[in-house]
Amino acid sequence: MNQKLKTSFAFAKNLMVTGAISETSRYVEVNICKHISKEPNKIIVEFGTGHGNITREILSTMSDSSILYSFEVNEDFCEYVRETIQDERLVIINDGAENLKKHVKAPINAVISSIPFTFFSKEKGMDIIQNAYDLLEEDCYYSQVLYTKFNFKKFQKIFDHCIITTHKNLITEYIYYCKKINKKA
């Protein structure tokens, strides 16, 4: 069985955890990473590793001296990524995004997320967004892919500047770009 079909089965089997029945499009993989700094020694966080398609794009975008902390609640997905992506910059964390501050103490330069906010309580969703905002450096982005515009207001309540985009041929995949602005400037 080819990998794309295996991935679709794995995502469908875990729909309430992944919030998806397949991996994101190549358009999303590339565009969700557009605000990742190429400067050295940055910390990048990913929520929702899945089978690593966005993870690979993050690693190819960030500098050689940066670190990627990638959160995934599904142990099978974590194991798959450990086996298929050998990169010393990647730290796979088998835990939920709500536990970000337990694992990452330093300032974050970017957050890339594909977690399914639709399946979270309002409180859990807001806590995840707030914790990421708290650790995010000023003038940096939290980028989120979702299949609806429904959760956009949650991000607008916390972040200083938010926009939502989609590709004209992919109207079911929305990317939210949420920026923490330097208020001293």
- Is residue 108 helix, strand or coil? strand
- How much is the mean pLDDT over the chain? 89
What gap in Å lies between CA 166 and CA 185, rounded to an integer?
30
- Higher-scoring residue by pLDDT: 162, 150: 162
pLDDT of residue 148: 87
**pLDDT tens figures, 145-161:** 998 888 999 999 999 99
Say how far residue 84 (Cα) sits from the centre of its chain: 19
pTM of the model: 0.86
What gap in Å lies between CA 127 and CA 133, rounded to an integer?
10
